[in-house]
Amino acid sequence: MSVCGSPAATARLDVAKSGLDFARTASDCATGAGGPNGWRRMVTAVPTNATVDAFAEGRSEMKLSRRHFQHLAAGAAALPIAARRAGAQAWPSRPVRWLVGYAPGGGNDIVARLMGQWFSDRLGQPFVIENRPGAATNMATEAVVHAAPDGYTLLLVGQPNAINATLYDTLSFNFIRDIAPVAGLMTVPNVMVIHPSFPAKTVLEFIAYAKAEPGKVNMASAGNGSAAHLAGELFKSLTGISMVHVPYRGQAPALADLLGGQVQVLFATSPASIEYVRTGKLRALAVTTATRAEALPDLPTVGEFVPGYEASAWYGIGAPQKTPAEIIERLNREANAGLADARLKVRLADLGGTLIPGSPADFGKVIADETEKWGKVIRAANIKL
């Protein structure tokens, strides 16, 4: 018989008659002896002869009233909630892993390391940057989706996450549903860069050349479906020009071929291309953000010539869904404090970006809007992997 699962008003144990399994105390019922079916699990005990004799003679019995049982059950059910609250209040008590879906050294990795050091200094625990490249950031995202929602595993969220929601048909997760937005960090412009030998010095001259020579402009990208690819596809759709897409396995080889003149144009990230622009090895025509970049103030935006064009890279912080609100709110406060810090602002500005402080809800809106926007571009261009 199972005392823990019995709905009867009185649970009576008669060892002399059953001589088998029984829950020895009410606390055994309350704790459930562990496991998902703990409420119905019986704790096996071997009664002594004295105990059997006592019960057999009717000299002792145990009664557990419904009210007492319900009180114990309610208390036990509240234990996980209390434990989560206590854990949230003590957070962080050990190192925090921050997964980055890229190899070390890129702009995204630099942003995470700068902010990770800030968090470490402020919160007193190491924030360990764990680079996990693969499948256009999907490997890192999936790892965080399935991590414990305790605040000790974070994700560097970015534009690829919004793109992948439509680009990949067989993801094992739903990004918007399974990742909780924590804080936006910064937007970073892509820069429309060309080889210095290309016969155009402005966006309008580039468009005119591409229209006069259809199919002769090779557009490099970091891969099919990458942010650079979609920035170029958006440019094509709004200008009506034709360019041949040349995908590479990453931005570095794409930049190398652009520097060598094998391709003509690339919508490159600002951190990766800004030094080539400053040294004259590449010619920048415009930035892809809605406003001019602080790091390149003399460079116009594409939108000044192509109404409606905007294609920013952006970075932020995500956590597994169901991460305690107290932890998300604390991370958000510390992130916003970092974005307001004079020294950190200068270091982030060197990457050519614009800071985007705000609430978790603000960052959640960025993710939702970007997912919808790039979904439309992918479907219109019929981009497939």
Per-residue pLDDT tens digits for 217-267: 999 998 889 999 999 999 999 999 999 999 998 888 999 999 999 999 999
pLDDT band at 7 (very low <50, low <70, confident <90, very high): very low
**Residue 77: what pLDDT?**
56
User: What's the rounded Cα separation, in Å, for the pair 319 and 147?
Assistant: 9
Hey, CA dihedral for 280, 347, 345, 266, is it positive or negative? positive
Calculate the CA dihedral of residues 239, 240, 244, 250 and round it to 10 degrees: 40
Q: Which CATH superfamily is domain 189-312 in?
A: Periplasmic binding protein-like II (3.40.190.10)
Most confident of 270-284, 347-361, 363-377: 363-377
Calculate the CA dihedral of residues 372, 374, 378, 380 and round it to 10 degrees: 70
**For the ranges 44-53, 125-134, 226-235, which has the lowest average pLDDT?**
44-53
Contact yes or no for 182/156 (Cβ under 8 A): no
Q: When comparing pLDDT for 315 and 62, which is higher?
A: 315
User: What's the rounded Cα separation, in Å, for the pair 193 and 170?
Assistant: 34
**For the ranges 3-12, 63-72, 272-281, 359-368, which has the lowest average pLDDT?**
3-12
**Residue 350: what pLDDT?**
80
Mean pLDDT of 129-157: 96
User: 94-187+315-381 adopts what CATH topology?
Assistant: D-Maltodextrin-Binding Protein; domain 2 (3.40.190)
pLDDT exceeds cutoff 80 at 160: yes
pLDDT band at 135 (very low <50, low <70, confident <90, very high): confident
pLDDT exceeds cutoff 60 at 130: yes
pLDDT band at 286 (very low <50, low <70, confident <90, very high): very high
Q: Residue 300: is the preceding peptide bond cis (ω within 30°)?
A: no
**Residue 48: what pLDDT?**
45
**What is the Cα Rg of the chain in Å?**
30
Residue among 149, 158, 93, 80 at smallest CA distance from 126: 93
Domains 94-187+315-381 and 189-312 in one fold: yes
Mean pLDDT of 269-293: 91
User: What's the rounded Cα separation, in Å, for the pair 191 and 268?
Assistant: 5
Neighbours of 39 (CB within 10 A): 17
Cβ contacts of 340 within 8 Å, gap of 6 or more: 357
Mean pLDDT of 87-115: 89
Residue among 272, 243, 270, 274 at smallest CA distance from 255: 272
**Residue 188: what pLDDT?**
87
- Widest distance between CA atoms in the chain: 106
The pair of structure tokens assigned to 135 is 């499948």
Residue ranges per domain, the chain? Answer: 15-89, 94-187+315-381, 189-312
Report phi then psi at 149, rounded to 5.
-85, 65
